[in-house]
Amino acid sequence: MSKTAKIKFIFITGGVLSSLGKGIAGSSLAALLLGSGFTVRLRKLDPYLNVDPGTMSPYQHGEVFVTTDGAETDLDLGHYERFTGIETRQSDNITTGRIYSQVIAKERRGDYLGATVQVIPHITDAIKHFILAETDVEGSSADFIIVEIGGTVGDIESLPFLEAIRQLRNDLGPSLTLFMHVTLVPYIAAAGELKTKPSQHSVRELQNVGIQPNILLCRCDREIPKEARTKLALFCNMKESCVIPAYDVKSIYEVPLKYYMDGLGTEVMQYFNIDPAARPTDLSKWKKVVNIIKNPEKEVTIGVVGKYMELADAYKSLSEALTHGGFPHKAHVNIKWISASIFQEERGKIANELKNIDGILIPGGFGERGAEGKILATQYAREKKIPFLGICYGMQLAIIEAARNIAGLKDAGSSEYGDPEDLVVGLMTQWDKDGNKILRSKKEGLGGTMRLGSYPCILTENSLAHKIYKSSTIHERHRHRYEVNIHYKSLLEKTGTIFSGMSPNNLLPEIIEREDHPWFLAVQFHPEFSSRPLNPHPLFKSFIGAALSYANKK
């Protein structure tokens, strides 16, 4: 415990129902603390039994966020990075599945010396060890560690995590631990009033496991009257100033400003005996971002042709990165979500769906569903000279489109869905040194078997990519199993495809462009994971700029 003696821990729990925004609350608090000159780390405890979300459908849990060190994590880590600019690590997200896997592995090795392995103390000790590990920020000990506990208070699977943070309060002491609870204050239209009873019950549920919240964040869609806040403070055993509204806002980037105005940063600092007057909070950069969001000078529409259109969180980092790309241009980015499957069902829909689009983006994804529709959309963007950005699977399908429609390889495809004659995209174990198909010796598992994390890429001088990045070497995050077959490079180059980014060993294509197109670029990596509202990713900045130019010429 000595290494963490001066670190202040803030634990965030949620009640009443899920999706109340614990991740945004923690991220926004981190932005306030950073604005006051503190250093902060955020981490999340997820109660599900999966080892990580890597094998879960996006419909189950939203997008899978990838850290630079190659961890597949919960999407809230993306919020952590966007609000703080601090790269998260594998050590910032853990699941019940990983905790139990570690404990069972130790039991099998005999590490517990024949003891009966139980939830308390073995599981809770493992959780506490995770919370207290790697508490540095850029080599120095963090001032604050903000820990979000996933799920909802009262869920059976959350109990070991709640017990672990209850124990940490005793281990570290109240002066170094703060409990913050996010709850719902619903408006009942028939009664014409906000109801505090759900929040009271939620806090009581938390108290039943031995945790008294110090601050209550109340999600609501309208102002909470003073009498309601007084009532909540009375029944939840806290000061009225610690009952803080969490209003619905137009943009998540308004949240730090709202929390600041309602005194969240002040209450946190006062709890830890820090004088708020001595640590003024600078939120000027956030105010500029919000001003652009509320008062844009331009507007542009991007068509995202993808697979998981029914759930916005499936492409959370992507939608945020597109929004960020508009900030340097003081532009609002409209996103039109288009299911790729409709193009396969009826080709005539392409022109109708994309006629008012200023840019086309093909995002990452897996499997056969929608793939042919994405290829048709890519062809449309190439032929109509519409700005185009392909990401991960989007790059692979752009290669297939060029191979089929320009190089004349009518059966070109990917082994991800089918057995094409020309294997232009496949697992590296599926082609020999000459690029010919070979049989794989065994089937791999799905979890953790991809190319994950940050890898270097060498850019070609004078290429569009080089002009955008203004660098010869870049590092970007990957999440994929399949690769473009390098043995088709020469043939594809004859069609006007430029391989402007390659792995250092020159074997893996990372970026392609079209020499006959004003802005056509596709990348094997995921640039959206690295974009920030205060520092938009250069690819998205350039893509939105190209879309604005296209819109002006239309």
Q: Is 320 tagged catalytic?
A: no
Residues 143 and 203 in one domain: yes
Confidence at 288, pLDDT banded by 50, 70, 90 = very high
Q: What is the CA radius of gyration of the chain?
A: 25
Same domain (yes/no): 50, 132: yes
Domain boundary among 243, 263, 288: 288
Count other Cβ atoms within 10 Å, centred on residue 431: 20
How many other CB atoms are there within 10 angstroms of residue 46's CB atom?
Answer: 26
Please, which pLDDT band fits residue 347 given cuts at 50, 70 and 90? low
CA atoms within 13 A on the CB side of 500: 24
Helices (H), 237-363: 255-261, 264-271, 284-294, 316-326, 341-345, 349-354
Residue with tokens 């109509």: 384
| Structural domains counted in the chain | 2
Structural domain for 540, as ranges: 296-553
In angstroms, the CA 5 to CA 155 distance is 31
Q: Predicted confidence band at 269 (pLDDT cuts at 50, 70, 90)?
A: very high
Among candidate residues 337, 322, 319, the one with its CA nearest the CA of residue 377:
337
324, 329, 332, 526: the catalytic one is 526
The answer to whether residues 368 and 281 belong to one domain is no
Domain with residue 17: its CATH number is: 3.40.50.300
331 contacts 548 by C-beta, under 8 angstroms: yes
Instruction: Give the mean pLDDT of the chain.
Output: 92
Who has greater pLDDT, 385 or 435?
Answer: 385
pLDDT class for 441, splitting at 50, 70, 90?
very low
Q: DSSP letter for 260, please.
A: H
Whether 461 sits among the annotated catalytic residues: the reply is no
The pLDDT > 70 percentage for the chain reads 95
Cα dihedral 472, 475, 476, 482 in deg (nearest 10) = 80
The answer, as to whether pTM is greater than 0.75, is yes
pLDDT of residue 14: 95
Give φ, ψ of 244 to 5 degrees: -115, 125
Please check the confidence at residue 31 and state whether its pLDDT lies above 70: yes
pLDDT band at 439 (very low <50, low <70, confident <90, very high): very low
234 and 318 part of one domain? no
Q: How far is residue 75's CA from residue 73's CA, in Å, rounded to a whole number?
A: 6
Alpha-carbon gap, residue 334 to 327, rounded angstroms: 13
User: Mean pLDDT across the stretch 170-182?
Assistant: 97
Mean pLDDT of 302-327: 90
Once rounded to an integer, what is the mean pLDDT over residues 437-461? 70
pLDDT (0 to 100) of residue 88: 95
- In terms of domains, do 105 and 21 share one? yes
Picking from 239, 271, 288, the residue at the C-terminal end of a domain is: 288
Would you say residue 443 has pLDDT above 50? no
Q: Letter for the amino acid at 118?
A: Q
Could you tell me how far CA 474 lies from the centroid of its own chain?
Answer: 21
Domain containing residue 543: CATH number: 3.40.50.880
Question: What is the DSSP annotation of 430-489?
Answer: GB-TTS-B---SS---STT-SEEEEEEEEEPTTSHHHHHHTSSEEEEEEEES-EE-GGGH
Q: What is the pLDDT of residue 23?
A: 95
Residue 309 pLDDT exceeds 80? no
User: Count H helices, E strands: the chain?
Assistant: 19, 25
Domain-ending residue, one of 257, 288, 319: 288
197-208 and 226-236 are packed helices; what angle lies between their axes, rounded to 10 degrees?
20
- Residue 526 annotated as catalytic: yes
- DSSP letter, residue 97: H
- Return the structure tokens found at 114: 């024949």
Both 396 and 522 in a single domain?
yes
Confidence of residue 8 (pLDDT cuts 50, 70, 90): very high
| Cβ atoms within 10 Å, residue 233 | 16
My answer on whether 359 and 448 are in the same domain is: yes
Asked if residue 335 and residue 240 are part of one domain, the reply reads: no
Q: Are residues 276 and 306 in the same domain?
A: no
Q: What is the pLDDT of residue 448?
A: 46
CA distance readout (Å), 363 to 43, 318, 321, 412: 27, 8, 12, 20
Q: Is the pLDDT of residue 374 over 80?
A: yes
Q: What pLDDT score was predicted for residue 316? A: 94
**Is 68 in the same domain as 126?**
yes
240 and 317 part of one domain: no
The residue type of 543 is F
**183 and 218 Cβ atoms separated by less than 8 Å:** yes
- Condensed to tens digits (0 to 9), the pLDDT of residues 356-372 reads 899 999 998 877 787 89
Q: Is the pLDDT of residue 423 over 50?
A: yes
DSSP state string for 207-259: HHTT---SEEEEEESSPPPHHHHHHHHHHHTS-GGGEEEEE--SSGGGHHHHH
The span from the CA of 320 to the CA of 540, in Å, is 10
- Residue predicted with more confidence, 278 or 51: 278
Residue 15 has pLDDT above 70, yes or no: yes
- Per the residue annotation, which of 329, 401, 528, 537 is the catalytic one? 528
Q: Provide the b/e sequence for 363-374 (b: ≥16 CB within 10 Å).
A: bbbbeeebbbbb
pLDDT band at 62 (very low <50, low <70, confident <90, very high): confident
CB 334 within 8 A of CB 300: yes
**Catalytic-labelled residue, pool 392, 457, 476, 480:** 392
Q: For residue 434, what pLDDT band results from cuts at 50, 70 and 90? A: low
The residue with tokens 């938009």 is 536
Same domain, 423 and 542: yes
Which tokens belong to 245?
Answer: 């509204």
The predicted-structure confidence for 95-127, as pLDDT tens digits, reads as follows 999 999 999 999 999 999 989 999 999 999 999
Least confident segment among 123-132, 442-451, 495-504, 520-529: 442-451
Confidence check: pLDDT of 345 > 90: no
**Per-residue tokens: 465:** 């990519």
Would you give the DSSP letter of residue 535? B
Query: Can you tell me the distance from the alpha carbon of 117 to that of 477, in angstroms, rounded to the nearest whole number?
Result: 38
